[in-house]
Amino acid sequence: MRNNTNKMVKLAVLSAVSLLLMFAIRFPIIPAAPFLEYEPGDLPILIGTFIYGPGAGLLLTVVVSAIQAFTVSVGSGWIGAVMHIISTGAMVLVAGNIYKRVHTFKGAIIALIAGTAAMVLIMIPLNLFFTTMFLGVPIEVVKGMIVPVIIPFNLFKGIANSTLTIMVYKSVAKILRVEPNPFQKGAKSISDKI
């Protein structure tokens, strides 16, 4: 019971940091689509995924997306929340499951590359459906944005968040006092392997 409470508190902290990053750091990266802003809010979600597994990462994604829909991203509302849950959810499920099986630095790199690919690919049909059905953008316009805007934006977002995850994971995992790693014999903690 105590371990579960401890874990929930740490997940709540990661959720709060994710929202703080969304508020504090937002900027467009593609001049043709200034409405698409990069924010590193997925960074704590990926860290939580690597520490606690893909299920925890998905829980973080849902909580953060729901709060984001009523705060930072009021303009896109529930549509933005659903798209974020599905896209980031795809990334954390793919990356989390790979890292759980290949629990090394190389495994983390492979996991993040595969997770980024999953996110980029899932955003194509998501935009074709949600942007046309609920935001009223003609499908021809959305199709015309796939290669020059949608793919590059999500690729940048995935690579940036993955790079940041690799850079800060070990330090954050130590701060959160990660429990002994069940995947590697002789490792003191999960953070020892990345």
Is residue 75 predicted with pLDDT exceeding 70?
A: no
Q: At 171, list the tokens.
A: 């330090």
For 97-142, what is each residue's pLDDT tens digit? 999 999 999 999 999 999 999 999 999 999 999 999 888 899 999 9
- What is the average pLDDT value for the chain, to the nearest integer? 89
Q: 69, 80 in Cβ contact below 8 A?
A: yes
Element (H, E) at 37: strand 37-38
Nearest to 122 by CA among 83, 77, 73, 76: 83
pLDDT band at residue 192 using 50, 70 and 90 as cut-offs? low
pTM score: 0.88
Q: Is 186 exposed, middle or buried (0-12, 13-18, 19+ CB in 10 A)?
A: exposed
For 19-60, what is each residue's pLDDT tens digit? 999 989 999 999 988 888 999 999 999 999 999 999 999 999
The type of residue at 78 is W
Structural domains of the chain, with CATH: 2-25+40-178 (1.10.1760.20)
Q: 46, 53 in Cβ contact below 8 A?
A: no
